[in-house]
Each structure stands twice: as structure tokens, then as C-alpha cells.
A and B are shown apart, each in its own frame.
Chain A
């Protein structure tokens, strides 16, 4: 069974940083592109970032470009999202996804003073 488990969410002040993790099991993690998608509670889905296999290429949505960094550790079967210079509008549930076929349960990030 494929499992994706996010962690690292929480409350952070504007301008602060947070690192999200997504631990993956049940699949050959290194063979798959991975993604982060976020959702403001009660609102729609927004793509945040993607990373290809072996971390060869990383891609970002316009709203996070220059502030967020996606990475992966294939030895640990783990995907990361380093979020810097956080803003109120980054408040959302953050999901990780494998090829968009499998998703984690999400982790809540709240940016507030």
C-alpha cells in the first residue's frame, strides 16, 4: 500500500520559515516525480511545486517562486518543501502527491502574528 505522510506544518509568524516533509512508503520513491499542492480551507487547489526524478529539475508556481525550495532525499524516501519569507496568503493545507495518483493527508500551515 502506498502511503504519503506529511509533517512539519504549524503556526509561524509572517516572514518566518518552515520546512515540510513528506515520507513515502510502498513504492519505489526514486522513480517518481513528486509534487506539492496547497489548499486554503474552503477554497480550491493550487499547485505549489514539482520535482523530477533524481532532483534534476524543480518547478514552482508564480506565487512561491524565489521563496520556496523543493527537494528530495531518495535514500530516505522523503520529499521536502523549504518555505521562507512566509506570508499570510501562504496559510493553507499542504499536500504532497506522487504523480498525482497518490496523495498524503495534508499538513496545515498557518502564517499569522
Chain B
């Protein structure tokens, strides 16, 4: 089974900071990786698809990179509305399996 290890689990940051979250797969998943933002009491929101594709309407301060086993999600300049929990997600088609990372909770210092 593919395991996704996301780090850190929480991050204390300041507005305007550059934020970096990593996701590691225990085997090659090519670029079958998405990134989500989730605010309390709300459904997840897809930000980045296929490791680096920015979803329509998502601000360009959100970026994703990586392939194979190691992936990076970056917020270039943290805004107040970015305070949330972020998840990576691997999706495999054959056989179908979908695995989420453990999540990274952003907090303001």
C-alpha cells in the first residue's frame, strides 16, 4: 500500500511568511498528487492538482512541485484567509486507492 507522510503536522507562522509543506510517498506516484485547503467546519477545497496544476480561481501565491516520491506545497506570502489545515492526497487508478496525508495545521504566531 502507498503511504503518504506529510510534514509538519502543525506550523506557527506570521502573515507575509513563506510557508512550505512537504509530502513524501513510500513509492513512486509520478505526479498523482493533489493539495487541499480545509477551514474549520467546511469541506476541503482543491487547490493544486497533479502536483503542480493550479485550480481555476486559486491565487497564484499557492504553488506545488515535485514528482515521484517527494512533493512540496508552498504559500509564497501568507494571508489571513490562508489560516487553515492543508492536506496532500495521492490517487491511484489501478487499483483504485486514494490516500490522504495527515494534514498540516497553520497557526498565527
Contacts and interface: CB of A to CB of B under 8 A. Distances in A.
B59 interface: no
Interface residues of B, number: 21
Given A45-B103, A50-B98, A106-B43, A100 B87 contact: no
- Interface on chain B toward A: helix, strand, loop, or mixed SS? strand
B109 interface: no
Nearest to A96: B43
A88 B69 CA distance: 34
A29 interface: no
A95 B89 CA distance: 15
Contacts of B87: 44-45
Contacts of A105: 42-43
Interface residues of A, number: 18
B89 to A, nearest CB: 7
Interface in A34-64: 35, 37, 44-47, 50, 57, 59, 61
Contact of B34 (A46, A100, A103, A106): A100
A43 to B, nearest CB: 8
Interface string B24-47: 000000000010101000111110
Given A50-B98, A101-B55, A44 B34 contact: no
Contacts of A103: 43-45
B67 to A, nearest CB: 19
Interface string B56-74: 0000000000000000000
Nearest to B98: A47
B99 interface: yes
Nearest to A6: B43
List of 3 A-B pairs having minimum Cβ-Cβ separation, nearest first:
A59-B96, A103-B43, A47-B98
Given A100-B89, A101-B46, 9 more contacts: A44-B102, A45-B38, A45-B100, A59-B95, A61-B97, A61-B98, A95-B43, A100-B91, A103-B44
